[in-house]
Chain A
Amino acid sequence: MEGLKLELKEKIIEQLNLEDISIDEIGDNDPLFGDGLGLDSIDALELIVMLDKDYGIKLSDPKEGKKIFESIEVMATYIAKHRK
């Protein structure tokens, strides 16, 4: 699980172009949206594509993302359970 969390942090920084943020600055339980990393709605869509492309997980309802993308911890748990 720790490896997956690290991988997710790397992917989020790279794919969402978070130039000024390093892996160490993203806590496992930090909120990704709002006051946390400050991701926006386009980032949420980008994360949905990433789930599909990299982990074979298709979200039929984009609203599901609100819970799944709460934090790195929640994301990693969801991916570990549903990845194909």
Chain B
Amino acid sequence: MNTQYYIKNYCKIKEARVTLNDNLVFEDDTNELKSFFKNVYKHLELKYAKFFKMDNLSKLSFLAAEYILQNVENSTDRNIAIVLSNRASSLDTDRKHQNSIQDKENYYPSPAIFVYTLPNIAIGEISIKHQLKSENAFFVFDTFNAEFLCNYARVLLDKNKAESVLCGWVDVDNDNYEGFMYLVSRKGELKHTIKELTNIYQN
């Protein structure tokens, strides 16, 4: 018999809005990505200068994780695995890196950009902030894959590889962005099922 797990909190960041468990927690009137992420950061009242050095995918992931993990007691002491996914991988930053090396006469690759040319760096940024040394993986799909994420999180919990799993879809491509992150826990009220995940993602 399968153990029942639960979706403890879920956060959505898209269209200049942030919702936590479907409640609006922040709304902005800017369409400019950099400004929007900065305003969300200010809303969270964080003091974390490294945030401004991150690429947009890491910023989006970091912010969504922050809304969820700030409501989890002692997140630094817990074994929280991270499983993220998206469509564009790190393409948004890959393009910036490509532009910096396109011209052989003006060849100045930026180390600060290059380090973000992998999507799983976003997981690293969350792990550093919350001091997590846990299982993690980043997958690339065409669209949000509730079935895969649900099964992957379940296996991690079944095998006691983690106490809870921070899962999500974090996609950035030019000015388009979408963040959906949730925490799968052993306790809670909202059942962790493919159907429920699909519902809260689509609503």
The answer to whether A80 has its CB under 8 Å from any CB of chain B is no
- When the two chains form their complex, are residues A49 and B111 in contact, meaning their CB atoms are under 8 A apart? yes
Alpha-carbon separation in the docked complex, A19 to B42 (Å): 12
Across chains A and B, the number of contacting residue pairs, with CB separation under 8 Å, is: 29
Which B residues touch A49, using CB under 8 A?
Answer: 108-111
Contact yes or no, A20 B110, CB < 8 A: no
Q: Which residues on the A side are within 8 Å of B110 (C-beta)?
A: 46, 49
Contact with A along B17-34 (1 / 0, CB 8 A): 000000000000000000
**Nearest A residue (CB) for B111:** A45
CB-contact partner of A16 in B53, B108, B109, under 8 A: B53
Contacts of A21-54 to chain B: CB distance below 8 A: 38, 42-43, 45-46, 49, 52-53
Closest Cβ–Cβ distance, residue A52 to chain B (whole Å): 7
Query: Secondary structure of the B side of the interface?
Result: helix
Decide if A16 touches B49 in the complex (CB within 8 Å): no
Contact of A42 among B52, B108, B111 (CB under 8 A): B111
Q: Within 8 Å CB of A60, what residues of B?
A: none
**Interface pairs (15), CB distance under 8 Å:** A16-B53, A16-B112, A17-B53, A18-B49, A19-B38, A19-B49, A19-B52, A20-B49, A20-B52, A42-B111, A45-B112, A46-B110, A49-B110, A49-B111, A53-B108
Kindly list 19 other residue pairs between chains A and B, CB separation below 8 angstroms, not including A19-B49, A20-B52, A49-B109: A16-B112, A17-B53, A17-B112, A18-B49, A18-B52, A19-B52, A38-B49, A42-B53, A42-B115, A43-B112, A45-B111, A45-B112, A46-B110, A46-B112, A49-B108, A49-B110, A49-B111, A52-B108, A53-B108
